[in-house]
């Protein structure tokens, strides 16, 4: 169907075309082959600001910015060849000088003979569209995220500055290349799945994955991928927004690790709290139990209406003594553990033969073993070997292991002690046929305050400190201690390994302080020390009375004082042969007292021998007392036999020195 009727005359057709040109929203202008404007419609005046009389007859290049003048030469060259230019985006100038974005279509004009005589130019004002596109480009360029477009084959079409910053590749390096350049080998299968999803028009939201930078470093990214559609709705490409979340992920992992540590620390604190509660409960039980026996027998013996027979008296006294020693051992364990925790457990090292240390420990536990019908068998290698160690601390280690073996072995069982030399070490093994150790408890065996039995139905006492102390003492000697057990009811084996000392020839037997509990009867075999005068100084009345009783059984003349000032007064008046002084006293302690005494002239008692009798029982306390001038250090609770031994020694020394005036 023709747009114009066949009867339309040339004049009518010209009028109709002029009306179309005049009513068009696009600028329509005609120019000749010299580029001179020959016609100018109203839309051209609106878009460029020139009235027809201002522009017709002038070169069309008045509309061109300086940097676009070359476009006209190229356009004219193509027109001469009969080419048509469609929708060329460019910029022209308004009459007032501001730029106007336009889309230009240029067609050649031919005369009746077919010769090209000019050109028709249609210019559409696309300023609003260009502004939106400029805004879009600004957003894309300034975005902190990588914004990338690609076709449906995964080939990169655009690449913003943040993509360069995040991935390290420039736009020139990436446009035209497959996006899989950024994919690690183990992630290549992601691209086909993503493209298939996009072809179906589906969007991929916040997909977290890993990509590779140009420098080879892997980064974590969150990717959102959207299909790009044409005006018909057909998917023609892909828009991808990628955010570098490496720092966020690292921060999250750090927070998760911190949370895990805090959770573990809280659990450990709760476990430690439960252990502390269990320990305090056990401590209270194990301190109260012997105290109950002590107080019970003491009250019964004191309040008995009938005369107490000798057998009952002996049983009561032995129970009181045994219970008191049990309390003393608990306190010693607590003090030792305190020293270990504070790094103050000192060793008095010497080269020793381990055999006497082992036999001494065996003898200290033999009475308890024999009472239960348990046989202790020593197998000690006769080969000459020695270690560098503290004999008393090593005997404490062996005594603890042997006591545990006896405690956890049923009546009639066996305990074997093996000493052997293995290369440059000595191995001491204590093996029993007892109840064994559960496998799950073995890793905790040498921890503080841990026991296999933790409920109120415990069959065996103790604070759970003994093996922790054993481990610490052995390690201070440069050795190791290990435990093994096939399981519950199958016995256990403890092995102490100590390094050999350098061989230097014969050496004396170690000076081991005996630790076995002496029988009560030994107290009543005290020597008679008539004429020996002793001054006892202690702020505790019960301790003063107890020491007076022990001393008077030896026929010693005893005077007592409750403080240092009274003690100096008595000492200057009575001139005792020996001063027994507590250390921890109010106002003036035992050290102050000794300094005061040593400042006196000999004729007033300034040279009186002094013994520190104190509950400060650490090795450093002993050293301090001896350095302060005390002749000896006697720890509380006092062993009557030890006190009598000191008395006998001082009595003999006085007799050798002659009478004191």
Read off the pLDDT of residues 594-620 as tens digits, 9 standing for 90 and up.
999 999 999 999 999 999 998 777 777
- Report d(CA 221, CA 187) in Å as an integer: 13
- Report d(CA 244, CA 254) in Å as an integer: 17
Question: 568: part of which helix (H) or strand (E)?
Answer: helix 564-574
User: CA torsion angle for 182, 184, 185, 187 (degrees, to 10)?
Assistant: -100
pLDDT digits (tens, 9 = 90+) for 373-404: 999 999 987 676 788 888 988 998 999 899 88
Q: Own/partner pairs for 245-253, CB < 8 Å, 24+ apart?
A: 245/208, 245/220, 245/221, 246/219, 246/220, 246/221, 249/220
pLDDT computed for residue 224 by the predictor? 93
For the cut 90, the answer to whether the pLDDT of residue 38 exceeds it is yes
Whether residue 419 contacts residue 381, with contact meaning beta carbons closer than 8 Å, is answered with yes
- Which region among 44-48, 183-187, 348-352 has the lowest average model confidence (pLDDT)? 348-352
Beta-bridge partner residues of 536: 560, 580
Sheet-wide strand order for 146-150:
156-159, 146-150, 235-244, 218-229, 204-212
User: CA torsion angle for 503, 504, 505, 509 (degrees, to 10)?
Assistant: -90
The Cβ of residue 376 has, within 10 Å, a number of other Cβ atoms equal to: 20
In a 13 Å sphere around the CA of 214, the CA atoms on its Cβ side amount to: 11
Interacting residues of 161 by C-beta distance below 8 A, sequence separation 6+: 141
Whether residue 538 contacts residue 585, with contact meaning beta carbons closer than 8 Å, is answered with yes
- Report d(CA 569, CA 547) in Å as an integer: 20
Report all structural domains of the chain as residue ranges with CATH numbers, in order of start.
Answer: 10-130 (3.30.450.20), 143-244 (3.30.450.20), 268-340 (1.10.287.130), 346-499 (3.30.565.10), 521-657 (3.40.50.2300)
For the cut 70, the answer to whether the pLDDT of residue 45 exceeds it is yes
For the cut 70, the answer to whether the pLDDT of residue 549 exceeds it is yes
For the cut 60, the answer to whether the pLDDT of residue 4 exceeds it is no
441 three-class SS:
helix
Q: Is 0.85 topped by the overall pTM?
A: no
Could you check whether the bond before residue 637 is cis, i.e. omega within 30 degrees of 0? yes
pLDDT computed for residue 493 by the predictor? 94
Whether residue 457 contacts residue 498, with contact meaning beta carbons closer than 8 Å, is answered with no
Nearest Cα residue to 476 out of 499, 494, 495: 499
How far CA 434 is from CA of 117, 264, 345, 430, 535, in Å, comes to 121, 36, 31, 12, 51
pLDDT digits (tens, 9 = 90+) for 204-250: 999 999 999 999 999 999 999 999 998 888 999 999 999 999 999 99
- Report d(CA 31, CA 76) in Å as an integer: 11
Name the residue with higher pLDDT: 445 or 373.
Answer: 373
11 three-class SS:
helix
In a 13 Å sphere around the CA of 643, the CA atoms on its Cβ side amount to: 28
- Report d(CA 472, CA 480) in Å as an integer: 9
Whether residue 400 contacts residue 469, with contact meaning beta carbons closer than 8 Å, is answered with yes
Confidence of residue 37 (pLDDT cuts 50, 70, 90): very high
Confidence of residue 452 (pLDDT cuts 50, 70, 90): low
Q: Is 605 left (phi over 0), alpha (psi -120 to 50) or beta?
A: left
Whether residue 207 contacts residue 224, with contact meaning beta carbons closer than 8 Å, is answered with yes
- Report d(CA 404, CA 467) in Å as an integer: 9
- Report d(CA 435, CA 458) in Å as an integer: 14
pLDDT computed for residue 285 by the predictor? 57
Nearest Cα residue to 404 out of 440, 368, 450: 368
DSSP label at 500? B
pLDDT computed for residue 656 by the predictor? 73
In a 13 Å sphere around the CA of 598, the CA atoms on its Cβ side amount to: 12
pLDDT digits (tens, 9 = 90+) for 474-484: 998 899 999 99
Whether residue 646 contacts residue 634, with contact meaning beta carbons closer than 8 Å, is answered with yes
- Report d(CA 120, CA 305) in Å as an integer: 142
């Amino acid at each position: 169907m023709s747009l114009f009727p066949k009867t339309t005359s040339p004049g009518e057709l010209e009028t109709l075309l002029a009306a179309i040109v005049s009513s068009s929203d696009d600028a329509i202008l005609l120019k000749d082959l010299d580029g001179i404007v020959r016609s100018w419609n109203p839309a051209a005046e609106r878009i460029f600001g020139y009235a027809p009389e201002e522009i017709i007859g002038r070169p069309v290049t008045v509309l061109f910015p300086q940097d676009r003048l070359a476009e006209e030469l190229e356009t004219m060259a193509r027109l001469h060849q009969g080419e048509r230019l469609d929708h060329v985006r460019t910029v022209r100038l308004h009459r007032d000088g501001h730029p106007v974005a336009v889309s230009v279509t240029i067609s050649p004009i031919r005369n009746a003979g077919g010769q090209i005589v000019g050109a028709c130019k249609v210019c559409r004002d696309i300023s609003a569209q260009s502004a939106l596109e400029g805004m879009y480009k600004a957003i894309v360029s300034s975005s902190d995220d990588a914004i990338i477009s690609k076709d449906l084959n995964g080939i990169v079409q655009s690449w913003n500055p943040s993509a360069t910053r995040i991935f390290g590749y420039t736009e020139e390096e990436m446009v035209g290349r497959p996006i899989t350049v950024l994919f690690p080998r183990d992630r290549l299968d992601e691209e086909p799945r993503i493209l298939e999803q996009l072809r179906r028009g589906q969007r991929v939201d916040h997909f977290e994955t890993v990509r590779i930078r140009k420098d080879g470093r892997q980064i974590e990214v969150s990717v959102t991928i959207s299909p790009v559609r044409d005006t018909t709705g057909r998917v023609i490409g892909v828009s991808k927004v990628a955010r570098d979340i490496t720092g966020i992920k690292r921060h999250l992992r750090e927070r998760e690790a911190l949370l895990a540590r805090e959770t573990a620390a809280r659990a450990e604190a709760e476990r430690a709290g439960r252990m502390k509660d269990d320990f305090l409960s056990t401590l209270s039980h194990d301190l109260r139990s012997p105290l109950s026996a002590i107080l019970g027998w003491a009250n019964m013996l004191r309040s008995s209406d009938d005369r107490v027979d000798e057998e009952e008296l002996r049983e009561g006294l032995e129970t009181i003594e045994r219970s008191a020693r049990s309390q003393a051992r608990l306190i010693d364990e607590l003090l030792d553990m305190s020293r270990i925790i504070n790094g103050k457990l000192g060793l008095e090292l010497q080269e020793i033969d381990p055999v006497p240390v082992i036999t001494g420990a065996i003898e200290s536990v033999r009475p308890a073993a024999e009472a239960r019908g348990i046989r202790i068998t020593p197998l000690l290698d006769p080969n000459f070997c020695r270690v560098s160690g503290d004999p008393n601390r090593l005997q404490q280690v062996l005594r603890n292991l042997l006591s545990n073996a006896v405690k956890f072995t049923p009546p009639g069982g066996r305990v074997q002690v093996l000493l052997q030399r293995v290369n440059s070490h000595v191995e001491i093994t204590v093996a029993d046929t007892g109840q064994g150790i559960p496998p799950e408890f073995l890793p905790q065996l040498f921890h503080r305050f841990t026991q296999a039995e933790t409920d109120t139905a415990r069959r065996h006492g103790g604070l759970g400190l003994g093996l922790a102390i054993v481990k610490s003492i052995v390690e201070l000697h440069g050795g190791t201690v290990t435990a093994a057990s096939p399981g519950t009811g199958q016995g256990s084996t403890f092995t102490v390994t100590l390094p050999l000392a350098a061989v230097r020839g014969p050496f004396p037997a170690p000076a081991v302080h005996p630790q076995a509990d002496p029988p009560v009867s030994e107290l009543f075999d005290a020597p008679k020390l008539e004429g020996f005068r002793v001054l006892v100084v202690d702020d505790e009345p019960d301790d003063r009375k107890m020491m007076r009783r022990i001393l008077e059984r030896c026929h010693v003349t005893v005077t007592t004082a409750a403080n240092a000032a009274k003690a100096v007064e008595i000492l200057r008046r009575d001139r005792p042969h020996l001063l027994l002084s507590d250390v921890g006293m109010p106002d003036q302690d035992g050290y102050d007292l000794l300094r005061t005494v040593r400042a006196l002239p000999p004729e007033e008692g300034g040279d009186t021998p002094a013994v520190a009798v104190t509950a400060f029982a650490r090795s450093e306390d002993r050293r301090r007392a001896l350095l302060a001038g005390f002749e000896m250090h006697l720890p509380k609770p006092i062993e009557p036999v030890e006190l009598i031994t000191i008395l006998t020694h001082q009595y003999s020394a006085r007799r050798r020195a002659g009478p004191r005036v």
